[in-house]
């Protein structure tokens, strides 16, 4: 049985990965978080079957990876056979305002984790969870492959690229069993209200205006390959399963890409249609006023597809299911992820696990 350390377990993508693991494997999890403005343990306790079946399979460690993993924390973590490193600061706007915060979280934090990982015996894999943004903007018709050059447009992207290169250097220098994944724009349940899906749902519900990223002419909206967090979790589990079957994934990179490209205006109107209300919107040239925002990202997902991976749900199914879930759980559209509240929550949670 695997026992896996999942950093960022209470983050948006992290908790979906945890749910996928708990539902589809017999693994035990060690979840690590520093508890910040983008995380909340309510994501975990809100999962169906959490209290009845899942809680006993998860140990929670409260630790800020900007500090090294000391012997006390290492002892609390215990033996692990794999690491999924999803903990990161991810918001582009905040990275532009506070780049050093992102260097500390995404570069220093990753280095501290890697230094800890290379002391472990029996470690089978370390996944560094990266982003499409390391490649920079994609011209029409271009989709970046896993090993294409990087050209980060903002500090967030640069720090993710830095962490990724550190991870790969530990593979080359120390033989750490690293594999890397790039993921595009992820959506799903329990996302921070500042993100596009919940923000659009809120705008449609309350009749407020939504501002949509566009080109300088304000006629062409930005586009992405959106992918549901549940499909991301399925892709990660698929890759680990390939490893278990003797397939080579260590030292390689894999793109986890949504099934189809959609521009943000089309997406916003589709969301509003499921909400059942009209949408007020303006196309805004964010890039000219705020350098660092890119109009289009695109990754090539052929590699994972050729390995036999198929998404459990289509984009349309995932979109409808996600919007309907938010309409039934509107408290998540107004969530206040205040740090002090959830530091106390983490301490209470950890205390119950002793």
Rounded alpha-carbon distances, angstroms, from residue 33 to 65, 162, 188, 305:
8, 21, 20, 32
Burial 29-56 (b: 16+ CB within 10 A, else e): bbbbbbbbebbbbbbbeebeebeeebbe
C-beta separation of 176 from 83 below 8 A: no
User: Which pair of structure tokens corresponds to residue 149?
Assistant: 């050059």
The Cα diameter of the chain in Å comes to: 58
Say which of 116, 128, 144, 156 is annotated catalytic. Answer: 156
Q: How many whole angstroms separate alpha carbon 217 and alpha carbon 272?
A: 24
C-beta separation of 275 from 210 below 8 A: no
Say which of 59, 133, 189, 259 is annotated catalytic. Answer: 133
Any idea how long the chain is? 354
Tally of CB atoms within 10 A around 73: 16
Please confirm, yes or no, whether 132 is among the known catalytic residues. Answer: yes
User: Which pair of structure tokens corresponds to residue 318?
Assistant: 């995932």
Phi, psi of 126, rounded to the nearest 5 degrees: -130, 120
Spatial CA neighbour of 349 closest among 11, 30, 61 = 61
Spatial CA neighbour of 170 closest among 225, 113, 122 = 113
Phi, psi of 311, rounded to the nearest 5 degrees: -70, 135
Phi, psi of 297, rounded to the nearest 5 degrees: -120, 145
User: Which pair of structure tokens corresponds to residue 11?
Assistant: 């983050």
With H, G, I as helix, E, B as strand and everything else as coil, classify residue 148.
coil
With H, G, I as helix, E, B as strand and everything else as coil, classify residue 93.
helix
C-beta separation of 253 from 180 below 8 A: yes
Say which of 19, 36, 105, 132 is annotated catalytic. Answer: 132
* Residues contacting residue 223 through CB under 8 Å, at least 6 positions apart: 261, 262, 263, 264, 295, 296
Which residues are catalytically annotated? 132-133, 156
């Amino acid at each position: 049985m695997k026992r896996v350390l999942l950093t960022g377990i209470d983050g948006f993508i992290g908790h979906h990965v945890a749910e996928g693991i708990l539902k589809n494997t017999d693994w035990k999890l060690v979840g690590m978080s520093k508890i910040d403005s983008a995380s909340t343990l309510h994501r975990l306790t809100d999962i169906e079957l959490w209290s009845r079946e899942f809680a006993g399979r998860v140990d929670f460690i409260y630790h800020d990876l900007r500090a090294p993993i000391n012997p006390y924390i290492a002892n609390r973590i215990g033996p692990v056979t794999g690491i999924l490193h999803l903990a990161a600061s991810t918001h582009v706007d905040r990275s532009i305002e506070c780049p050093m915060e992102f260097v500390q979280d995404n570069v220093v934090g990753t280095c501290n984790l890697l230094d800890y990982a290379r002391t472990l015996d029996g470690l089978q894999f370390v996944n560094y969870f990266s982003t499409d943004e390391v490649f920079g903007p994609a011209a029409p018709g271009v989709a970046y492959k896993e090993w294409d050059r990087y050209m980060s447009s903002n500090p967030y992207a640069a720090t993710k690229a830095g962490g990724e290169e550190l991870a790969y250097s530990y593979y080359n220098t120390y033989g750490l069993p690293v594999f890397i994944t790039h993921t595009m724009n992820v959506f799903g349940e329990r996302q921070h209200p500042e993100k596009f899906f919940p923000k659009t749902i809120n705008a449609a519900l309350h009749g407020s205006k939504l501002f949509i990223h566009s080109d300088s002419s304000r006629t062409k909206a930005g586009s992405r390959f959106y992918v549901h967090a549940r499909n991301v979790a399925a892709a990660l589990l698929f890759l680990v399963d390939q490893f278990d079957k003797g397939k080579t994934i260590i030292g390689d990179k894999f793109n986890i890409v949504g099934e189809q490209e959609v521009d943000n205006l089309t997406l916003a109107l589709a969301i509003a249609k499921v909400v059942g209300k009209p949408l007020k919107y303006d196309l805004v040239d964010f890039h000219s006023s705020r350098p660092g925002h890119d109009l289009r990202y695109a990754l090539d997902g052929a590699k994972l597809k050729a390995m036999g991976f198929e998404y459990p749900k289509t984009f349309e199914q995932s979109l409808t299911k996600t919007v309907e879930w938010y309409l039934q759980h509107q408290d998540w559209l107004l969530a206040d992820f205040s740090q002090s509240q959830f530091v106390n929550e983490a301490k209470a949670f950890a205390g119950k696990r002793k």
